[in-house]
Amino acid sequence: MKRRLPLFILAVAALVLGIFRTPAVDLQNAFAQGKPADAKVTFVEIGSVNCIPCRAMQPIMKEVEEEFKGQIKVVFYDVWTPKGKADAAKYNIRVIPTQVFLDKDGKEYFRHEGYFPKEGVVQAVRMQGVR
C-alpha cells in the first residue's frame, strides 16, 4: 500500500501535466468567436462548470459583461470537455480557474490564476481604457 500511493500520485501528476502543457500558446483564439467591433478587452475565463471556484466566477463574468457592454467580450472555455482541453493547452493553463485578458489586438496583457473577485476583474479591464 505504501508503494502504491507515491506511484498513484506520480501518475495523476503526469496526467494533469500532459493535458495542460504545450509549447505553443495561441492567445488570439478568443477572437475567432467574433468579438464586438468596439471591444477594448477580451476576458477569457478558463475553468469548468464542475469546479466550485469556477462556478463562483460565472456571476462575475455576467455582471462584468453587462456592466461594460460593447467594450468587453467575455469567453468561457470548459477544460473538462474535448474542445476545452485543447483551449486550455493553447492558453498554457496550469490551474483552474484562470482568467486571461487580451487587448483589442488580441495580445495578452494580464493573467490571474484562481478565483478572481469582481473588483480585480474590473481593475484588469480598466487597464485598457474600459470605463
Residue 131 belongs to a domain: no
Question: Tens of pLDDT along the chain (131 residues)?
Answer: 555 555 445 444 444 444 333 323 344 444 445 445 579 999 999 999 999 999 999 999 999 999 999 999 999 999 999 999 998 898 899 999 999 999 999 999 999 999 999 999 999 999 999 99
Residue 25 belongs to a domain: yes
What's residue 36's pLDDT?
Answer: 52
CA 107 to chain centroid, in Å, comes to 14
Residue 49 belongs to a domain: yes
What DSSP assignment string belongs to 8-73?
HHHHHHHHHHHHH--S---TTGGGGGT--TT-SEEEEEEE-TT-HHHHHHHHHHHHHHHHTTTTEE
Residue 87 belongs to a domain: yes
What's the CATH code of the domain at 68? Answer: 3.40.30.10
What's residue 2's pLDDT?
Answer: 55
What's residue 42's pLDDT?
Answer: 96
How far is the C-alpha of 45 from the C-alpha of 42, rounded, in Å? 10
What's residue 87's pLDDT?
Answer: 87
Q: Per residue in 96-107, pLDDT tens?
A: 999 999 999 999
Stated as kind and residue range, the H or E segment containing 77 is strand 72-78
Domain that holds residue 46: 4-126
Residue 86 belongs to a domain: yes
How far is the C-alpha of 115 from the C-alpha of 108, rounded, in Å? 19
Q: Per residue in 81-99, pLDDT tens?
A: 999 999 889 889 999 999 9
Total domain count for the chain? 1
Q: What is the pTM of this model?
A: 0.72
How far is the C-alpha of 4 from the C-alpha of 24, rounded, in Å? 34
